[in-house]
């Protein structure tokens, strides 16, 4: 009843091609934007630091992987490695050129990460599916090894840890210990918004369509004139760009310092789970999946206190892992196509409600 | 069918959402104004580091409980504490820190991260949140320079001092520094911020004394070390120094025993010398050594007090909770430092719950004398120490302990570090940190 587009007429092609053609959707997005902007006024530092900032940066990483895996069909387990490239390169560039605007540094690090993606994407021209996953796994381990063993990447500090130095934009501290959680949240929000809108438009355009053609059947795509070489490598490099920026945000806007352990294989798996649970080939799904993977553990940690339960901390942690796993299985059984599909079905039902046929 | 699935999922989602909202309201409600001093506890009772984490967590809990039960708190101010599980994972560690830092009437007293990785994360936050960090014998070595690292304390010794003391010990055993020339020493280390700490010092000392240093990294978590020990077998080093943690230690000791390496030439650092590290290797681990800065076993009055006041005289139960194990005893020392720092600060600010800023003053003016150790029931358990504004490490001497198959006992005198090498390195590293982060060092 509420969600029905009856009476909304499109009179131009532009209106017909809008990202959100339905008025209610636009209202919904406006409400989300309003909430996202207003949340630091009500949330405390714990919420910003533990929930919202990691949610944003993992959403970005999930979008990156979704472009590659969800849209182009190239399974990748190298996300953590590409994020590490972003994090370490941001550190190298910003310590070498302290006066360079940190956002420019993020972009530059993203480009280097894109280059790394390009190189590790080369095998995708020959191998497919699970075999490609194994090849990208090599990139994960190689990059982790590289940043751990070669002192140049961490400026030869004795422990191999990189620390985000204080950097400001327009006189406001953005990174380093004195940057408040609110500022870091807004910077993360701005980056993610811009890049998510870019991704959404990318997948709607020529490039996105060629990716999907490759995903659905590469031989057919080649016959209609899409060059697999160019398309696959483009997907790898753009995906790595997104992951690289997410990695830079992880070090500079979230943790403040990191070693290679922060980018280990678990991160790659987490991001992969995000897009599987959220929905392959969906930008919205990337956000939903990131929310699920980031939020649910935090929630489960705090749940026992909520119900006034006191239990041994180790028992609680074990229960938490069990519950988290069960929830993943539960959602995959009831909706194998991810949370984004669930959202879509809800919208379809709402359209007919209350008179379904 | 579709509809049922949809309803099911929506029910699941709304449950998750409701719990999230409730969790939010929970986190924001805290603060109870009473005479209580809150100590946050970052623990790891699960995961691959649990063998090391459990005695640590129990030690803190028991000492705080002892102070409450025996003395009624610190000069009448009750200690409260809360555990938060980190799995030795830096991300979870930061989450725990954020969760606990504002609890209690005056916020967190001080934080003992018990993980070098987490310490690195918290160091930049400490001055901003005004929560001092007591990283006792771990964390960032450069923090020993109190002029740059005002809020970080790593007494009674650092990784670098320890590594240099190990080299001094080897020199003693080999009959003088001149005999170090040409000797082969291997460093088996956990490939993380923690394990790498000693490398730089060992490299400098290798150059200085002319011994041949081989660095052998073991990747997290260290369950698989076959290739490392194959290299050891090929290399036949005269001495092995190890910086391990958690499950890595017991695997290394077992592997060393399996290749018949002479155990009395295998020296772990103080995180590689606990009971859990040697027991799994059985008789193979007899003779294994490690550095330490306090005693092992239950032979001190403080242990008797813990059995009496915390466990109600039930010695078996206390044993079950790791009393007397090396790591347990280490946390007794650590918890004691925290409590004494509060006591010292109370001398200046009054007997009431203190803020992190006041406790920082207490840490910097901490003076544990021999007489005080006796009062605490820890005479001969550890060395007296005095913290100054300039020196947050104090002394840095270590002692070598040896495993005889049943218990650890001291097998050397206190070995001072090679300060003329280590201290300039510390000051250099601290100055570099200060420059990178725009910190003006204090003058003292």
**pLDDT tens-digit profile of A169-224?**
888 888 888 888 899 999 999 999 999 999 999 999 999 999 999 999 989 999 99
pLDDT tens digits for A63-87? 999 999 999 999 999 999 999 999 9
> pLDDT value at position B27?
44
Q: What is the CATH number of domain A45-352?
A: 1.10.3470
Measured between CB atoms, does B18 come within 8 Å of chain A?
Answer: no
Q: Which residue has the tokens 């050891």?
A: B232
Predicted local confidence at residue B17, as pLDDT: 56
What residues contact residue A207 under an 8 Å CB cut-off, 6+ apart?
A231, A234
Q: What pLDDT is attached to residue A179? A: 86
Copy the structure tokens of residue B17: 């959402």
B50 pLDDT more than 60: yes
- Which has the higher per-residue pLDDT, A198 or A334? A198
Task: Mark yes or no for CB contact A44/B20 under 8 Å.
Answer: no
Task: Provide the 10 A C-beta neighbour count for residue B310.
Answer: 23
State residue B65's pLDDT score: 94
pLDDT over 70 (residue B70)? yes
Q: Is B91 part of the contact surface with chain A (CB cutoff 8 Å)?
A: yes
Confidence of residue B25 (pLDDT cuts 50, 70, 90): very low
How many residues belong to chain A? 357
CATH code of the domain in which B230 resides: 3.40.50.2300
Per domain, the residue ranges of chain A are: 45-352
pLDDT for residue B23 is more than 50: no
In a domain, B7, yes or no: no
Residue B194: alpha-carbon gap to chain centroid: 11
Main-chain dihedrals φ then ψ at residue A43, nearest 5 degrees: -80, 145
> Does residue B369 form part of some domain?
no
pLDDT in tens, A297-319: 888 888 877 787 777 888 888 88
More confident residue, B131 or B4: B131
For chain B, report the end-to-end CA distance as a whole number of angstroms.
Answer: 75
Q: Is residue B144 assigned to a domain?
A: no
Say yes or no for a CB contact (<8 Å) between A161 and B193: yes
In which band, very low, low, confident or very high, does the pLDDT at B278 lie, cut at 50, 70 and 90? very high
pTM for this one? 0.86
Nearest Cα of chain B lies from the Cα of A248 at a distance, in angstroms, of 15
- Is the model's pLDDT at B30 over the cut of 80? no
Residues of A in contact with B83 (CB under 8 A): 313
Residues ≥6 apart with Cβ < 8 Å to A350: A2, A3
Over the stretch A245-290, which tens digit does the pLDDT of each residue have? 999 999 999 988 888 888 989 999 999 999 999 999 999 999 999 9
Closest chain A residue to B140, measured at CA: A159
Nearest CB among A158, A257, A301 relative to B200 is that of: A158
Range of the domain at B281: 159-294+397-419
* B124 within domain boundaries: no
pLDDT at A55: 95
pLDDT in tens, A120-153: 999 888 888 889 999 999 999 999 999 988 889 9
pLDDT band for position B236 (cuts 50, 70, 90): very high
Which of B16, B45, B193 is closest, CB to CB, to A314? B45
Share of chain A above pLDDT 70, in %: 100
Least confident window among A195-209, B13-27, B350-364: B13-27
Distance CA(A295)–CA(B13), nearest Å, equals 12
Q: Pairing between strand A167-169 and B78-85?
A: unpaired
Residue of A nearest to B121 (CA): A257
DSSP-derived pairing of the beta strands B399-403 and A257-258: unpaired
Phi (first) and psi of residue A316, to 5 degrees: -60, -45
Residue in the structure block whose two tokens are 């809020």: B151
For B165-202, the pLDDT digits (tens) are 999 999 999 998 999 999 999 999 998 888 888 998 99
Predicted pLDDT at B28:
41
ipTM value of the model?
0.82
**A165 part of contact set with chain B, CB < 8 Å:** yes
Kindly list the residues from chain A whose CB atom is less than 8 angstroms away from the CB atom of residue B192. 160, 259, 261
Contacts with B2 from chain A: Cβ below 8 Å? 345
B51 or B377: which leads in pLDDT: B377
Q: Which pLDDT value is given to residue B18?
A: 52
Report how many Cβ contacts below 8 Å link chain A to chain B: 141
Identify the pLDDT of residue B31. Answer: 42
Q: How far, in Å, CA of B228 to CA of B252, rounded?
A: 9
Average pLDDT, chain B: 89
Chain A window 73-102: which residues touch B at a Cβ cutoff of 8 Å?
Answer: 95
Segment among A57-61, B332-336, B363-367, B431-435 with least mean pLDDT: B431-435
Strand stretches in chain A, DSSP E:
162-163, 167-169, 172-175, 257-258
Total domains in the fold of chain B = 1
Tell whether A346 is within 8 A of chain B (Cβ). yes
Locate all alpha helices (DSSP H) within B102-190, ordered by sequence: 116-122, 125-129, 159-174
Cβ distance B20 to A166 less than 8 Å, yes or no, reads no
Look at residue B414 and tell me if it is in a domain.
yes
For residue B1, pLDDT beyond 60: no
State the alpha helices, DSSP H only, in B190-284: 193-209, 226-235, 247-258, 275-278
Position A162 pLDDT exceeds 60: yes
- Measured in degrees and rounded to the nearest 5, phi and psi for residue B85 equal -80, 125
Q: Which range has the top average pLDDT, A1-10, A333-342, B192-201, B281-290? A: B281-290
In a domain, B323, yes or no: no
């Amino acid at each position: 009843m509420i969600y029905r587009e009856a009476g909304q007429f499109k009179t131009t092609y532009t209106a017909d091609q809008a990202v959100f053609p339905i008025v209610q959707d636009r209202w919904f997005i406006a409400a989300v934007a309003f909430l996202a902007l207003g949340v630091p006024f009500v949330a405390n530092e714990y919420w910003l630091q533990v929930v919202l900032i990691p949610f944003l940066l993992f959403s970005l990483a999930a979008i990156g992987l979704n472009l590659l895996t969800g849209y182009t069909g190239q399974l990748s387990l190298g996300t953590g490695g590409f994020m590490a490239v972003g994090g370490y390169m941001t550190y190298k560039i910003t310590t070498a050129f302290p006066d360079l605007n940190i956002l420019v540094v993020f972009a530059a690090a993203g480009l280097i990460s894109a280059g790394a993606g390009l190189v590790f994407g080369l095998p995708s021209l020959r191998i497919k599916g699970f075999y490609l996953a194994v090849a990208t796994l090599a990139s994960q381990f190689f990059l982790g090894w590289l940043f751990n063993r070669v002192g140049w990447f961490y400026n030869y500090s004795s422990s191999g840890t990189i620390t985000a130095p204080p950097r400001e934009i327009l006189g406001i501290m953005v990174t380093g210990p004195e940057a408040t959680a609110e500022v870091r949240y807004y910077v993360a929000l701005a980056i993610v918004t811009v890049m998510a809108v870019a991704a959404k438009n990318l997948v709607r355009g020529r490039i996105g369509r060629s990716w999907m053609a490759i995903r659905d059947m590469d031989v057919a795509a080649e016959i209609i004139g899409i060059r697999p070489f160019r398309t696959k490598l483009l997907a790898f490099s753009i995906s790595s760009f997104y992951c690289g920026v997410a990695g830079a945000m992880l070090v500079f806007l979230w943790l403040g310092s990191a070693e290679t352990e922060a980018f280990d294989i678990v991160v790659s798996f987490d991001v992969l789970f995000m897009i599987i649970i959220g929905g392959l080939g969906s930008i919205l799904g990337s956000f939903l999946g990131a929310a699920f993977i980031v939020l649910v553990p935090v929630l489960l940690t705090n749940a026992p206190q909520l119900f006034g339960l006191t239990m041994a901390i180790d028992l609680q942690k074990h229960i938490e892992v069990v519950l988290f796993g069960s929830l993943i299985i539960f959602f995959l059984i009831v909706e194998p196509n991810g949370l984004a599909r669930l959202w879509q079905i809800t919208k379809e039902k709402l359209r007919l409600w209350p008179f379904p046929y | 069918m579709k509809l049922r699935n949809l309803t099911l999922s929506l029910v699941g989602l709304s449950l998750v959402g409701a719990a999230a909202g409730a969790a939010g309201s929970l986190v924001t409600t805290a603060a109870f104004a009473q005479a209580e001093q809150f100590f946050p506890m970052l623990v790891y009772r699960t995961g691959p580091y649990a063998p090391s984490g459990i005695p640590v967590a129990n030690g803190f809990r028991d000492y705080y409980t002892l102070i409450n039960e025996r003395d009624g708190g610190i000069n009448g101010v009750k200690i409260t504490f809360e555990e938060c599980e980190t799995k030795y994972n830096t991300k979870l560690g930061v989450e725990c820190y954020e969760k606990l830092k504002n609890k209690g009437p005056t916020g967190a007293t001080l934080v003992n991260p018990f993980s070098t990785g987490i310490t690195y994360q918290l160091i930049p936050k400490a001055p901003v949140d005004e929560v001092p960090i007591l990283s006792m014998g771990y964390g960032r070595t450069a923090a020993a320079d109190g002029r740059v690292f005002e809020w970080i304390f790593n007494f009674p010794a650092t990784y670098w001092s320890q590594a240099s003391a190990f080299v001094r010990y080897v020199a003693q055993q080999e009959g003088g520094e001149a005999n170090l020339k040409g000797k082969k020493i291997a460093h088996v280390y956990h490939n993380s911020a923690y394990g790498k700490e000693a490398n730089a010092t060992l490299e400098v000392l290798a150059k200085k004394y002319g011994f041949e240093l081989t660095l052998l990294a073991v990747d997290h978590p260290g369950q698989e070390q076959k290739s490392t020990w194959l290299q050891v077998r090929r290399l036949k080093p005269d001495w092995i120094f190890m910086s391990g943690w958690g499950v890595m230690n017991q695997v290394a000791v077992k592997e060393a025993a399996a290749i018949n390496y002479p155990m009395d030439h295998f020296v772990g650092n103080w995180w590689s010398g606990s009971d859990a590290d040697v027991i799994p290797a059985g008789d193979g681990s007899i003779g294994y050594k490690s550095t330490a800065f306090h005693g092992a076993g239950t032979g001190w009055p403080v242990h008797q007090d813990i059995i009496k006041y915390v466990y109600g005289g039930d010695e078996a139960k206390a044993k079950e909770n790791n009393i007397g194990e090396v790591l347990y005893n280490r946390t007794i020392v650590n918890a004691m430092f925290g409590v004494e720092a509060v006591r010292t600060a109370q001398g200046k600010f009054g007997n009431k719950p203190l803020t992190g800023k006041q406790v920082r003053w207490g840490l910097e003016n901490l003076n544990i004398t021999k007489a005080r150790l006796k009062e605490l029931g820890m005479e001969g358990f550890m060395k007296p120490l005095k913290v100054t504004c300039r020196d947050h490490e104090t002394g840095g001497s270590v002692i070598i302990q040896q495993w005889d198959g049943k218990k650890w006992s001291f097998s050397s005198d206190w070995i001072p570090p090679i300060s003329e090498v280590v201290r300039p390195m510390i000051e250099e590293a601290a100055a570099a940190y200060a420059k990178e982060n725009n910190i003006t060092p204090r003058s003292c």
